[in-house]
């Protein structure tokens, strides 16, 4: 295999040059040996061209032996080799939450699966196995230790932010990273934002980092998640997020007419919190990001109609802005995100043609919209108490 060999002090300059000119072989691993870095390149001609453009770097062409571990290991190949005839008996994917990987496997196969996971992901220090379903008031799950360090505190990086949390005590999904980044990018200027069911703070913190003029209220009922959120606010050095410990329904009246934007990342139960949206939304208008589980066929269209009917009955105007499929959830169920706007402009007649909307993507096209392009600690207050996490002072 051909590679560009360069002293480590020039490695960043060489890496940028090779990526800019599409010369870097991304299917192979960059090697560090002694004081040198070896960047795999796609061809001999490209290697010569790279040398010509990297004058003064001391770079040279080197041939790395086929036995050198430069090729990236393929997870499924390793897993198949580890499991043999048992390969078809277990889920083949895993969720990496920074230093912790979550697998779904039978107890008897978990060690072999963990070995394959740690073989392809050098950042993973701990492998845990799902040992129960997401359940309870706080949507938490039980995990069993499988391999690596016996640790349950994840350190996860996403969209320029970092989050630390105990995976056993707080709900967190890395699969929503795109959604968190998407909504953060939509927030502009001095707007008031309420993040309901804020968890350990990912939606609130990423939005606050992206829009430093926003005033963000993050409400969470789970005291363990709330405690981790306080730590994550400090960890990310955001000063425009106020963490609130309590029940959204009981706290809504405190924020009557406050919000320019509301985020509702609770797909299983968001429908039951729409009354709180009505209370918190500014009369002049509020943008809401609503998540729901719906049937794959026609579910998005029915969800839009239910939302429109809910607000129409309360003499509020509803306008759908965007709807997209977030992820498949089950064989016949998907999770969708509906962005809509409400204001107290009076009833609005239902648009014709929404009754038979077949799916989220078709409904989006019908609306003429586009996709928007993701240290524990701190003071734990009584429900309803607000703390500025950077100072520890009551708000």
- For tokens 């706007």, what's the residue? 341
In whole angstroms, give the CA distance from residue 319 to residue 362. 17
CATH number given to 2-63:
3.30.70.2580
pTM: predicted TM-score of the whole model, two decimal places:
0.71
DSSP 99-133: TEEEE---HHHHHHHHHHHHHH-TT--EEEEE-S-
Q: Please state, in angstroms and rounded to a whole number, the distance separating the CA atoms of residues 162 and 236.
A: 7
For Cα atoms 123, 135, 387, give the angle at the middle one, nearest 5 degrees: 70
Instruction: Supply the CATH classification number for the domain 75-151.
Output: 3.30.300.110
Q: Do the beta carbons of residue 345 and residue 306 sit within 8 Å?
A: no
CB 212 within 8 A of CB 240: yes
Query: So what CATH class is 176-367?
Result: alpha beta
Provide the Cα torsion 178, 180, 185, 191; round to 10°: 160
- 3-class DSSP state of 255: helix
Output phi, psi for 160, to 5 deg: 80, 10
Task: Please enumerate in sequence order all residues whose Cβ is within 8 A of that of 108, keeping only pairs 6 or more positions apart, or say none.
Answer: none
Closest by CA to 355, choosing from 313, 314, 290, 300, is 300
State how far the Cα of 358 lies from the Cα of 252, in Å rounded to an integer.
Answer: 34
- Domain extents in the chain: 2-63, 75-151, 176-367
Beta partners for residue 288, in sequence order: 262, 340
Place of tokens 């969209």: 159
**Cβ neighbours, 10 Å, residue 136:** 11
pLDDT 10s digit of each residue in the chain, 395 long? 788 888 888 888 888 888 888 888 887 778 776 677 888 888 888 888 888 888 877 888 887 654 444 455 567 677 777 777 666 666 667 889 999 999 988 888 888 888 888 877 888 999 999 988 877 778 888 999 999 999 999 999 999 999 999 999 999 999 899 999 999 999 999 999 999 999 999 999 999 999 999 999 999 999 999 999 999 999 999 999 999 999 999 999 999 999 999 999 999 889 999 999 999 999 999 999 999 999 999 899 999 999 999 999 999 999 999 999 999 988 899 999 999 999 987 544 444 444 444 344 444 433 433 333 333 233 333 344 454 443 343 43
């Amino acid at each position: 295999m051909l590679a560009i060999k360069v002293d480590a002090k020039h490695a960043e300059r060489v890496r940028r040059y090779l990526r800019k000119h599409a010369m870097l072989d991304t299917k192979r691993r960059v090697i560090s040996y002694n004081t040198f870095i070896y960047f795999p390149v796609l061809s001999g001609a490209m290697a010569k061209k790279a040398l010509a453009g990297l004058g003064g770097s001391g770079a040279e062409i080197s041939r790395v032996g086929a036995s050198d571990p430069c090729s990236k290991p393929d997870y499924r190949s390793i897993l198949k080799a580890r499991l043999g005839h048992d390969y078809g008996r277990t889920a083949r994917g895993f969720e990496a939450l920074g230093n912790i990987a979550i697998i779904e496997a039978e107890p008897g196969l978990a060690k072999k699966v963990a070995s394959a996971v740690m073989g392809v992901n050098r950042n993973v220090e701990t492998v845990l196995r799902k040992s129960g379903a997401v359940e309870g008031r706080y949507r938490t799950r039980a995990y069993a230790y499988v391999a690596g360090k016996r640790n349950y505190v994840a350190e996860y990086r996403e969209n320029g932010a970092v989050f630390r949390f105990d995976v056993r005590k707080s709900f967190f999904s890395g699969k929503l990273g795109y959604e968190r980044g998407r909504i953060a990018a939509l927030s502009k200027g001095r707007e008031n934002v309420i993040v309901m069911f804020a968890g350990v703070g990912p939606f609130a913190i990423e939005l606050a980092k992206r829009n430093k003029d926003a005033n963000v209220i993050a409400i969470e009922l789970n005291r363990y998640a709330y405690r981790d959120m306080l730590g994550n606010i400090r960890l990310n050095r955001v000063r425009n997020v106020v963490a609130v410990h309590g029940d959204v329904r009981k706290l809504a009246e405190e924020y009557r007419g406050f919000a320019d934007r509301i985020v509702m990342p609770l797909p299983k139960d968001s429908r039951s919190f729409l009354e709180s949206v009505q209370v918190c939304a500014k009369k002049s208008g509020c943008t809401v990001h609503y998540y729901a589980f719906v049937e794959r066929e026609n579910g998005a269209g029915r969800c839009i109609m239910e939302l429109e009917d809910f607000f129409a009955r309360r003499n509020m105007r509803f306008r759908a802005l965007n709807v997209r499929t977030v992820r498949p959830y089950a064989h016949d169920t998907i999770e969708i995100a509906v962005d809509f706007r409400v204001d107290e402009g009076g009833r609005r007649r239902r648009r014709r043609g929404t009754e038979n909307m077949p799916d989220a993507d078709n409904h989006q096209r019908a609306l003429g919209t586009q996709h928007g392009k993701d240290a524990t600690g701190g003071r734990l207050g009584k429900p309803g108490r607000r703390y500025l996490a950077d100072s520890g002072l009551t708000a």
